[in-house]
Structure formats: C-alpha cells, structure tokens
Amino acid sequence: GATIGIVGGGQLGRMLAFAAARLGFRTIILDPDAACCAAQAANAVIVGAYDDVDALKQLAAGSAVVTYEFENVPVGPMRALAGTVPVFPPVNALEIAQDRVVEKAFLNGIGVPTAEWRAIDDTQELDHAMQEFDTDCILKTRRFGYDGKGQASIRRKSPHGELYESLGGVPAILERKVPFDFELSVIAARGQDGTITAYDPAENVHSMGILKSSTVPGRITPETAEAAKAIAATILERLGYVGVIGVEFFVTGEALVVNEIAPRVHNSGHWTEGACLISQFEQHIRAIAGLPLGTTERHFDAVMENLVGSEVNAALALAAEPNVLLHLYGKGEARPGRKMGHLTRIHPRDDGNRVKEG
C-alpha cells in the first residue's frame, strides 16, 4: 500500500500509525527522538526537528500524503511541504489553531461564539481589559499552550502586576472566565469529497489543565448534541478541511461556546476505539487517504480515563476487569503530567435505541 507521513511521534502519532497499518498503509514518522513512542507502530522513523527542512523533504519524498499529530508544527516548513505532497489537515487550519487570537477571530467571524476575549501585549492592556470585563478571567499565551500550560487565572479586582511578565512577556489573550456547567467536545471529520461525519459529543473533565476523563453520552439534550455537531460541521466547511478535528466547548444551560479547536485527532476521542466500529484514528486515515469515511455510530456508552504519570502503575490490574479496554503508549518513565496511557470502560447503551450519526 501507499505510505503516509506523520509529523510527530507521540501517542497520537502512534495510534494513527496502528490504524494506518490495519488499512494496509505504511507509515513514516518524523520526530526528534528515534525512540519516540510512535516508532513501535511505524515502518520507519526519520529523526529530525519538526522544522528541519531536509528531514521534512525526506518525509515528503517517501510519502503519498503527510499529516501531523500536534498543532505546534511550524507553519512555514509545512506550507513549503504542501507544495510537493498533499498535506492534510490543510495548513491554513494549522495556522489558525496555533494562535488563540487568530483562532477566536476566525470562529467569531463565521458566527461561532467563544468566550469574550482581548489580545494582550503588555501589562497596561491587561489592566485595561480586566477593568472592562470586571469578572474572573484567564490569561493565556497566544501560542504553544497545551495541557493548560501558559495560563493563569485572574480573580475579579485582584492585583495582577507581575502576571503578564510571568507568562514570559509574550503575546497573550485575556478570556472572560466562562461559568460553564461542564465541558464537551465533538470529534468530527471531513473527507476529500466533502462528506462530514461527527461522533457523539463527549463530556470532559479536566484536572490541573489536563484531560482526566471523557464520558459519552454527556449530560446534554439531543438538541444540544445536534447543535454542537452542527458547529463542528460549519468549522470544517469554512476551513475546507480534510481529516479529523477536535472542537472543545463550554456548556452553560443550553448555551454552547467554543473553547478551542485542535486540527488533529483528540484525546477526548479515544473512547471511539471501544465504542464505535471505526475509531477517530481510522477515520483520520480514511479522510487523508481519500477513502470513504466510516460510520460514527456509537454501540456502547463509554468512559475514557487518562492514565497520567504514576496512575499507569495501577492500570495493569484494571485490565482484568470486564468491560475495560486498556491502551498503553509504551513510553518509558512515568514522569508527573506525562500521558502514559488511557482506559475505556464500556457499557451497553442505556437509551435502548441507536441514534443515527449526524
């Protein structure tokens, strides 16, 4: 079969490589670490930095299509690559998702609500925006944040003199803190023929900025689920997207606002491995390879729990439990905050009837 190039050799790259192998594709991973956890799943690893032009050229030369597993891949080199080989998801989606100001401006521009926000470039602008909002807020770096890194909460009317500098003095965004009831995400996909599919929304719990669990179904009405899927579909269409996207929402009552988008497979979609015939990983491979998208029908209720740091040590015992699908990433040391694996508990659907995919 053809070869798929994947930029990034973390657990998402690994799971993409396994899914690709099962469809008969070969995979080449580009990662700075020859022993990255995706190496075990791929046919070859090119060792190099993500912006190493020669390494990227080598990847392009050996691949029929190139994709990426995380959103901090440098846009310039990826755009150059896209001149020689198809790159999916498209580089414009990568560029938008890399900068929280550009991302929110894009979303608001296509009519998708977000938390109210202001671009912040110095302490004075922060003072001004805090007074203007007059609520609890969150200051985030515009770029390179993940797992809640590069963020600080600011209480209403509290002093924040050193805070802007403490995030590195880099371009930032202030967001009004959304008093949400819970968080939700939609994993959706768009194929090369424009077909769009979406899995059922998951309800997500974060702890210390890191995803802790995803539960499907979430505590939402069918109407809210459809509304969330429709927003994800709008985003995919307006980006001319190909591949899987993760769209994170805050839910307050029946109101939905988008937190952020991730132009890749998403941690909150890992439950699809256990509860659906076609996982998010296979769906992404199908989309970028130009195959028909698969069904997103959900056959089980599911709870996915991340195994972060030393939590992984107790996990092997859980593998003996019925209804537990254990997935370990083959990483070495269980450092604090490091995602080592996840497990999905599956149960028969308690709503009796199966809902057709959207």
Binding site for Mg ion (CB under 5 A): 248, 260
Is 100 annotated as belonging to a binding site?
yes
Is 143 annotated as belonging to a binding site?
no
Cβ closest to ligand ATP, residue 149 vs residue 354: 149
Query: CB of residue 272 vs ligand ATP: minimum separation in angstroms?
Result: 17
Binds 209, which of Mg ion, ligand ATP, none (CB < 5 to 8 A, cut-off by type)? ligand ATP
Cβ closest to Mg ion, residue 99 vs residue 260: 260
Give the binding range for ligand ATP (CB under 6 A) out of 54-62, 155-163, 176-184, 304-312: 176-184
Is 147 annotated as belonging to a binding site?
yes
Is 337 annotated as belonging to a binding site?
no
Q: Cα-flanking dihedrals φ and ψ of residue 229, to 5°?
A: -65, -35
Binds 178, which of ligand ATP, Mg ion, none (CB < 5 to 8 A, cut-off by type)? ligand ATP
- The reply on whether position 144 binds ligand ATP by CB under 6 A is no
Residue 227 parent element (H or E) = helix 222-239
- The reply on whether position 113 binds ligand ATP by CB under 6 A is no
Residue of 209, 222, 292, 337 interacting with ligand ATP (CB under 6 A) = 209
Cβ closest to ligand ATP, residue 36 vs residue 184: 184
Under a CB-based contact definition with an 8 Å cutoff, are residues 285 and 309 in contact? no
DSSP letter at 143 equals: S
The number of beta carbons lying within 10 Å of the beta carbon of residue 335 is 11
Binds 85, which of ligand ATP, Mg ion, none (CB < 5 to 8 A, cut-off by type)? none
Structure tokens at 4: 């798929």
Under a CB-based contact definition with an 8 Å cutoff, are residues 139 and 99 in contact? no
3-state secondary structure of 324: strand
Burial annotation 229-266 (CB, 10 A radius, 16+ → b, else e): bebbbbbbebbebbbbbbbbbbbeeeebbbbbbbbbbb
Residue of 95, 260, 282, 301 interacting with ligand ATP (CB under 6 A) = 260
Structure tokens at 231: 């927003």
Is 148 annotated as belonging to a binding site?
yes
- The reply on whether position 145 binds ligand ATP by CB under 6 A is yes
- The reply on whether position 48 binds ligand ATP by CB under 6 A is no
Query: CB of residue 92 vs Mg ion: minimum separation in angstroms?
Result: 18
Cβ closest to Mg ion, residue 64 vs residue 105: 105
- The reply on whether position 115 binds ligand ATP by CB under 6 A is yes
Q: Which amino acid is at 235?
A: I
> Given strand 44-47, what is the order of strands in its sheet?
44-47, 26-31, 3-7, 65-68
Under a CB-based contact definition with an 8 Å cutoff, are residues 280 and 272 in contact? yes
Select from 259, 280, 277, 278 the least CA-distant residue to 269: 280
Select from 151, 241, 251 the least CA-distant residue to 202: 251
The bridge status of strand 182-190 relative to strand 196-198 is: antiparallel
- The reply on whether position 146 binds ligand ATP by CB under 6 A is yes
Under a CB-based contact definition with an 8 Å cutoff, are residues 308 and 329 in contact? no
Cβ closest to Mg ion, residue 25 vs residue 68: 68
Q: Cα-flanking dihedrals φ and ψ of residue 130, to 5°?
A: -65, -40
Give the count of residues interacting with ligand ATP (CB under 6 A): 16
- The reply on whether position 212 binds ligand ATP by CB under 6 A is no
Structure tokens at 66: 């190139």
Give the binding range for ligand ATP (CB under 6 A) out of 80-88, 171-179, 308-316, 342-350: 171-179
Query: CB of residue 248 vs Mg ion: minimum separation in angstroms?
Result: 5
Output helix, strand, coil percentages for the chain, rounded to the nearest 5.
Answer: 30, 30, 40
Give the binding range for ligand ATP (CB under 6 A) out of 19-27, 37-45, 177-185, 190-198: 177-185
User: Widest CA span of the chain, in angstroms?
Assistant: 60
Query: CB of residue 211 vs Mg ion: minimum separation in angstroms?
Result: 8
Catalog residues that contact ligand ATP under the rule CB under 6 A: 115, 138, 145-149, 175, 177-178, 183, 206, 209, 248, 259-260
Residues contributing to the annotated binding site for ATP: 100, 140, 145-151, 175-178, 183, 206, 259-260
